[in-house]
Structure 1
Amino acid sequence: MYNLLISIAISVATTALFSAVLGGKIWYGIGPGVIALIVAYILLARRSMKQVEGIMNSAQEEMKNQRIERGVEIMKSAYPIGKWQFLVSSQIDGQIGYILYMSKKFDDAEPYLRRAFKKNWVPRAMLGTLLYKRKKYDEMKEVFEDAVQHNKKEALLWNIYAYCLWKTNERDEAIKVLNRALEHIKADDKTSSNLKALQNNKKMKMRGWNLLWYQFHLDAPPAQQAQMQFRRR
């Protein structure tokens, strides 16, 4: 917000200056004023994003050392930058929600996931899966519908949506979702394969996405499943 206001002020000053120098006609300064607005905003936005990047790098170091709570607190220190630059706060919320969800702190993650930037599809998909886990199926559909509208090219997002529908015994709806997906992501083998599986009343196969799939905690990795089976025995 502040970056835009400062840029507008610079633009107005530049317009007035050029108008005065070039004969007092306001339109003489419009072109330079627009250029000043664009250049100033780009430079100020870049400065803000550099600040965010530095904070996120510090948080990442804490995450590497398994100090999750400390890393989250460092991320929160970037919130004041959100007053200067649009979308910073929602991107920070998405990152915090992602970390907490990955750590299986689902209750803590939910409010952050809800505030995440809508074009950041991973936190939005995590919110959808969280609602699926809680059997809030109507709200789950609303979240996934919103997510796919903003991220039409993300094959895994469409497949997670279909997977949750399939698991709630809405196979026909899942088929419709994958058909819609293929309208936007042409010739995607995994999506086509899952669509054929559902049409033939077979199971969807999601493990081809590997870690991208397992981060949503809808399925345990093979090694973890083997460990769980061993413990049961």
Structure 2
Amino acid sequence: MYNLLIALGAGVVATLLFGFAVGGGDFSLLYGIVPGVIALLGTYFYLARRSMKQVQALAEQAQQQLQSRNIDRAVEIFKSGYPIGKWQFFVKAQIDAQIGTLLYVAQRFDEAEPYLKNAFAKNWTAKAMLGVLYYKRRKFDEMERVFEEAVAANKKEALLWNLYAYCLWKTKQRDKAIDVLNRGLEHLDGHDKTERNLKALKNNRKMKMRSWNQLWYQFHLDRMPMQRQRVQFR
């Protein structure tokens, strides 16, 4: 991307300048390489940070629209950031993750799917939503593939491991669900909710997910109790 190309150019220029200057008029790579690397890394860090600040500014604008429940306008604002993707790696994937998440939460599942597919792997919420979407459509092989990719990139996310196990459990794959939670606990350094759900599955009881509150309900696998809905919308 452009940021990397500019940074490489800065590195080459610094290498040449210092290589000739310190080398007494004759080019010396030994004298130029360290300043060149410093120039490359410094320039790239600065440009990458600038690009991410631009994305953050868009997110703040979109949030203002969401407060007015104007989802379509929020999506348009995020899409206006696509050109930034020409400058910085993974920007488009991050924007698609945000758009897909907004549309999924709004239960516009068909619209959300292509954005969730393109989502940045480290955005575990977007990837989990895609996995849940495949679960809802009974595409269980694809569901497992997406969840495996998600947990590989986000090993410390307890809710992600539990979502994966929940979907397996609901598809009558209790042993696989137990295995997933056991794998999750290897990375979570002990996690009460995960341990309780693992114990429940081993004893052929139901998994309990409502203690994650809104983080859980956003996946539309359960209905929020009416009492909580009244409190939320006051």
Measured against the shorter chain, the TM-score band is over 0.9
Give the unaligned 5+ runs of structure 2.
none
**Separation in structure 2 between the aligned mates of residue 204 and residue 225 of structure 1, nearest angstrom:** 20
Please point out which of 163, 167, 176 is paired with 1:160. Answer: 163
1:91 equivalent in alignment to 2:94: yes
Per-residue deviation at 1:52? 1.3
Per-residue deviation at 1:219? 0.4
Per-residue deviation at 1:26? 2.2
1:65 equivalent in alignment to 2:68: yes
Length-normalised TM-score, structure 1: 0.95
Instruction: Sort the Cα spacing of 1:97 and 1:224 in 2 relative to 1 into closer, same or farther, 3 A.
Output: farther
Q: Secondary structure at the match of 1:165?
A: helix
Aligned residue for 2:34?
A: 31
Per-residue deviation at 1:172? 1.1
Q: How many residues align?
A: 227
Please point out which of 36, 41, 48 is paired with 1:45. Answer: 48
Per-residue deviation at 1:55? 1.6
Aligned residue for 1:231?
A: none
Q: Secondary structure at the match of 1:113?
A: helix
**Separation in structure 2 between the aligned mates of residue 148 and residue 94 of structure 1, nearest angstrom:** 16
Per-residue deviation at 1:88? 0.6
1:216 equivalent in alignment to 2:219: yes
1:14 equivalent in alignment to 2:7: no
Aligned residue for 1:5?
A: 5
Aligned residue for 1:115?
A: 118
Instruction: Sort the Cα spacing of 1:100 and 1:189 in 2 relative to 1 into closer, same or farther, 3 A.
Output: same
Per-residue deviation at 1:224? 7.3
Per-residue deviation at 1:225? 9.5
Runs of 4+ in 1 over 2 A off after TM superposition: 224-227
**Separation in structure 1 between the aligned mates of residue 148 and residue 99 of structure 2, nearest angstrom:** 23
- Letter paired with 2:11: S
Aligned residue for 1:198?
A: 201
Please point out which of 183, 187, 190 is paired with 1:184. Answer: 187
Per-residue deviation at 1:223? 1.1
Give the unaligned 5+ runs of structure 1.
228-233
